[in-house]
Structure 1
């Protein structure tokens, strides 16, 4: 299983000019990048890819759709600062993320704060800053009102709705049934009446059905249903809708056989959705909240081979990186059946003998695996293992404290 054969290399398709150069020139520039970082492992994110992705969306989306970046996808401060002038707003899920958004120069009025279990301290910070609170429960609504009274401020709020439908084919479903997210749709009318009595500044609704979806048809159907539901609920609201956040859920291909999302088809569907919203709620802003779709393909994770090991005929490449830095690539971040992310030996992308190898890290658990039985160019000690599609849900979604190994560096190139 570990024997090497001479075969042409077929690296994963790439879209990032700077990182492409690092790989195509025999690893020379990749080595220089590693020298610049000073160590492995590291994450590298490419500015031009982020800019070009947002430019594509701007050219394709109908006018009137606002584009927000969900910071949870990748909260690296330098990346968030890059995003600030390119998008219309930020969406955060903690006081820490809110601080990153404010430090990046985003106006408080263009920041929304979602997520269940907001602490009283987080509510005070959000109300004081003037960001838009996405209320996740009736109890949170009461605490927000009490916070406003304490500070002498009127909290800006939107109601997050748990709809009675789900996003088909979503990699992670977040609506349609019992969930910790949002208020069940049938309870929202009563909540809206109470919200009016509490004197909160109502702005609209937030509906997010699921993540990592590659079906333009399913996304379009969910977006239509979201707008229809929001308009029905708006009949019970204390004031007209000013903003409707329909989430995102746009996926990127990670695994063999997956095809990129047909984004122009998604944009076409949004024209009809926007027309429906404008007819019923003139002046309301339609917000598309994206995270993964903006940054996932803009990043790579790079680690170095420490040792080649043979066990029962199987070749293991033991690296200085792994699950503690990149939980998603290990298959432990929501995968039901583990699949390999696109992985390559970065300084041996073209030509050379091939072999089937398993790439693992230094942790004392069999879960610490970056590639399982994958065909790769034969790697030697010191070579670079590159994990593609690593710009989203990488470092901050990983158990970096496990076993006390040093954390990876991050660079924006």
Structure 2
């Protein structure tokens, strides 16, 4: 049996050829060879393929078949070019800070198509988005209700609900336990009473988000079904119809060898039943559902690419030392929530025809053993100056990383589509 690390790397090579294009030795992204993109923008670099993003959006939209509006979750990747691409596809925007609000507006988002979620919103942030225009604010606690009361301006709002444990799902559980997010489902009556007592707050919907990185379609659909049931309960308790039911995000992508993609056919098959569930409740008959994916839309479109700075062998282990590491890509190092550290798929984008049969440990330039992007993975024979690419890097990459640690320069970023490179500036 092949070494598991080498088997995983071969999985990465198969994934690369599925998502992008391979011509001879070269992996192509957005119609250009990765080595040529790096020559244009520098190394290290995050490179995003616009066509892969559009494909993910369109596949999801087709599966939802008009049942739910898609709002891009900016936290996954707040680059303006990325936000603009999804706006062009027809998406709304979900934000979690005033900075993300400004990024969305700068990318061309209409204020009424922006949702503001997240715990701990400051009064100044709330006042600023209300002044600038906002579609909905998703209220996460009693303090937030009081802040909106004090601001005094009319605002449309939804209650974020922390669901019961039975419907939590995903690799990172956002609900179903003690959490800073939203109102506990068992305290829903008090939350409804508190928000409906404030004259300037118009309760228009709910937001339920139980987890992230969900690959199980059945679990995802069950969480959506539960959200619709909760919406009916809120509508009946408040005595008013709801306009929106935010089903949350959390749609996952496969990172590891054993992962299987989310089955969109299974999602599509469940949509008629979800439609019927909403239609059967008179107070939800005029409501629209919302999903707010981030990782699913952009995650597979991105690569983190770096030149090798040095190759060394220590006690039988071959180390490839890159120009960047966990300071640029914390998630790939396993230090963004992994308990058991597993490798993201890694390839040599200018040596695609070479067999990835030599074990290597890929590290960055930081003076800590935590700065390891791949452990004992299979790659070809590589030298200083060759390139290494980490796949599945479009979401929670640069902005989720300690870029200032040890004061190395930040990586370049580029959105590539139809052979055109758009440099991303932050």
Distance verdict in 2 for CA 1:22–1:332, change over 3 Å: farther
Aligned to 2:138: 134
Q: Which runs of 5+ in 1 are unaligned?
A: none
Distance verdict in 2 for CA 1:389–1:167, change over 3 Å: farther
Aligned to 1:104: 107
Is the contact made by 2:161 and 2:182 (CA closer than 8 Å) also made in structure 1?
yes
Distance verdict in 2 for CA 1:386–1:370, change over 3 Å: same
Q: Does 1:13 align with 2:15?
A: yes
SS where residue 388 of structure 2 aligns? strand
TM-score (norm 1): 0.93
Distance verdict in 2 for CA 1:263–1:15, change over 3 Å: farther
Distance verdict in 2 for CA 1:250–1:367, change over 3 Å: same
SS where residue 179 of structure 1 aligns? coil
For residues 381 and 401 of structure 1, the distance between their equivalents in structure 2, rounded to whole angstroms, comes to 24
Residue from 412, 415, 423 that aligns with 1:412:
415
Distance verdict in 2 for CA 1:22–1:297, change over 3 Å: farther
For residues 353 and 69 of structure 1, the distance between their equivalents in structure 2, rounded to whole angstroms, comes to 36
Is the contact made by 2:169 and 2:220 (CA closer than 8 Å) also made in structure 1?
no
Residue from 39, 47, 50 that aligns with 1:35:
39
Map 1:14-413 to 2 at 5 A.
14=16, 19-21=20-22, 24-25=25-26, 29-37=33-41, 39-131=42-134, 132-147=136-151, 149=152, 153-167=153-167, 169-199=169-199, 200-237=201-238, 239-280=240-281, 281-351=284-354, 354-413=357-416
Moved more, 200-209 or 125-134: 125-134
For residues 24 and 44 of structure 2, the distance between their equivalents in structure 1, rounded to whole angstroms, comes to 16
SS where residue 292 of structure 2 aligns? strand
Distance verdict in 2 for CA 1:125–1:105, change over 3 Å: same
The structural deviation recorded for 1:350 is: 1.1
The structural deviation recorded for 1:238 is: 5.5
SS where residue 51 of structure 1 aligns? helix
For residues 219 and 364 of structure 1, the distance between their equivalents in structure 2, rounded to whole angstroms, comes to 41
Is the contact made by 2:403 and 2:410 (CA closer than 8 Å) also made in structure 1?
yes
Cα displacement string for residues 376-413 of structure 1 (whole angstroms, at most 9, x for unaligned residues) = 11111100010000000000000101010000011000
SS where residue 206 of structure 1 aligns? strand
The structural deviation recorded for 1:241 is: 0.6
Moved more, 127-136 or 51-60: 51-60
For residues 63 and 365 of structure 1, the distance between their equivalents in structure 2, rounded to whole angstroms, comes to 49
Distance verdict in 2 for CA 1:389–1:12, change over 3 Å: same
Cα displacement string for residues 257-276 of structure 1 (whole angstroms, at most 9, x for unaligned residues) = 11111111012223211221
RMSD: 2.0
For residues 107 and 17 of structure 2, the distance between their equivalents in structure 1, rounded to whole angstroms, comes to 27
For residues 107 and 245 of structure 1, the distance between their equivalents in structure 2, rounded to whole angstroms, comes to 18
Q: Which runs of 5+ in 2 are unaligned?
A: 1-5, 417-426
For residues 376 and 340 of structure 2, the distance between their equivalents in structure 1, rounded to whole angstroms, comes to 15
Distance verdict in 2 for CA 1:100–1:15, change over 3 Å: farther
The structural deviation recorded for 1:105 is: 1.7
Is the contact made by 1:73 and 1:393 (CA closer than 8 Å) also made in structure 2?
yes
Q: How many residues align?
A: 401
SS where residue 43 of structure 1 aligns? strand
The structural deviation recorded for 1:231 is: 1.2
The structural deviation recorded for 1:84 is: 1.0
